[in-house]
Structure 1
Amino acid sequence: MAEVKHVFDDLDRQLIALLRADGRAAVSTLAGALGVSRTTVQNRIDRLLNSGALLGFTVRVREDHADDTIRAVMMIEVVGKSTSQVIRHLRGLPELHLLHTTNGKWDLVAELRTSSLEAFDRVLREVRMVDGISNSETSLLLSTV
């Protein structure tokens, strides 16, 4: 079955912006902020989830609460037409914080976060074992300036 691409309207965009700011906001709070009914908000959330446009809800932690986190950027080269397969596999890694497609030598850029160097090493080995990845280059992020 072909994936249906969701077309966002202004209400969808406003709802997503509110959910980005507070993914735990009550439906009634969202409805009040948007000036629509709770049913409309719930139906929009359900439609966004069902279409895959909204992948779920997550916890955001202040950066200063994650001082012991190992962060890295990984550039990934993909073989042939296996990008979608590689993306699906990488999205399953809990240590993957962000994933971007890009142009140039590298096909994907991933931000990884782990709690230790041992966990970081494990994730690197896991990524390198993914079918369709031909090359990668990883840089640890040392400090934010």
Structure 2
Amino acid sequence: MQSEPKPINDKNAALDALDHQLLGLLRVNARTPTATLARKLGVSRGTIANRIARLEANGVIAGYSVQIHAHSQPSGIRAWISIAVEGDKTREVVKRLLGEPSVSSLHDTNGRWDLLAEVHAASIAELSEVLERIRKIKGIGNTETSIHLQTFRT
């Protein structure tokens, strides 16, 4: 069970260019060794370890997860949830959605919907539970769900 994401500690939340580069590398592969990150960024391993610890402590890094390739779960259900966020709650909603294990990707969009979340579930019953959890997130005003039926091109 994943814990509630920590709120960002605003007094230390200012990110510099190195923080952004580090986060970009971690998004690609959160298991990249510290020595490799240090070499790619041109800093010491200690600097990387300290930066990661600070980003975790300040709630910038909310957690780590495993990404499962869609073809690894052929019997599961895949759906997309279009989400309208109330007021200025986007940051909080995004943090909560990133902590939801069934959300495999999350995208910022324009137009009628603010966010688009791809979710995976083992069954319709499990999808229903996921949708219920997501709809209860404070700051979500409205959702619309589309279930993936068939892929014609990837």
TM-score bracket, shorter-length normalisation: 0.7 to 0.9
Q: Name 2:83's counterpart in structure 1.
A: 76
User: How do 1:17-56 and structure 2 match up within 5 A?
Assistant: 17-56=24-63
Q: Which 10-residue stretch deviates more, 42-51 or 59-68? A: 59-68
Tell whether 2:14 aligns with 1:6: yes
Contact in 2 for aligned 1:6/1:51 (Cα 8 Å)? no
Alpha-carbon RMSD across the aligned residues, in angstroms, is 2.9
State which structure, 1 or 2, has the greater radius of gyration over its C-alpha atoms. 1
Give the Cα–Cα distance (whole angstroms) in 2 for the partners of residues 84 and 29 of structure 1: 30
- 1:139 Cα deviation (Å)? 0.5
One-letter code aligned to 1:93: E
- TM-score w.r.t. structure 2 length? 0.70
One-letter code aligned to 2:143: S
User: Which blocks of at least 5 consecutive residues in structure 1 are unaligned?
Assistant: none
Against the structure 1 CA distance between its residues 3 and 12, is the aligned structure 2 distance closer, same or farther, given a 3 Å change threshold?
A: closer
Q: Deviations over 1:89-121 (max 9, x none)?
A: 544432122333433322332221112221002
Q: Which 10-residue stretch deviates more, 47-56 or 80-89? A: 80-89
Name the count of aligned residue pairs: 144
User: How do 1:82-93 and structure 2 match up within 5 A?
Assistant: 82-83=89-90, 86-87=93-94, 89-93=96-100
Q: Deviations over 1:23-45 (max 9, x none)?
A: 22322333234332211110111
Q: 2:116 aligns with which of 98, 109, 113?
A: 109
Tell whether 2:92 aligns with 1:65: no
> Sequence identity, in percent?
40
Give the Cα–Cα distance (whole angstroms) in 2 for the partners of residues 2 and 84 of structure 1: 13
Give the Cα–Cα distance (whole angstroms) in 1 for the partners of residues 133 and 144 of structure 2: 14
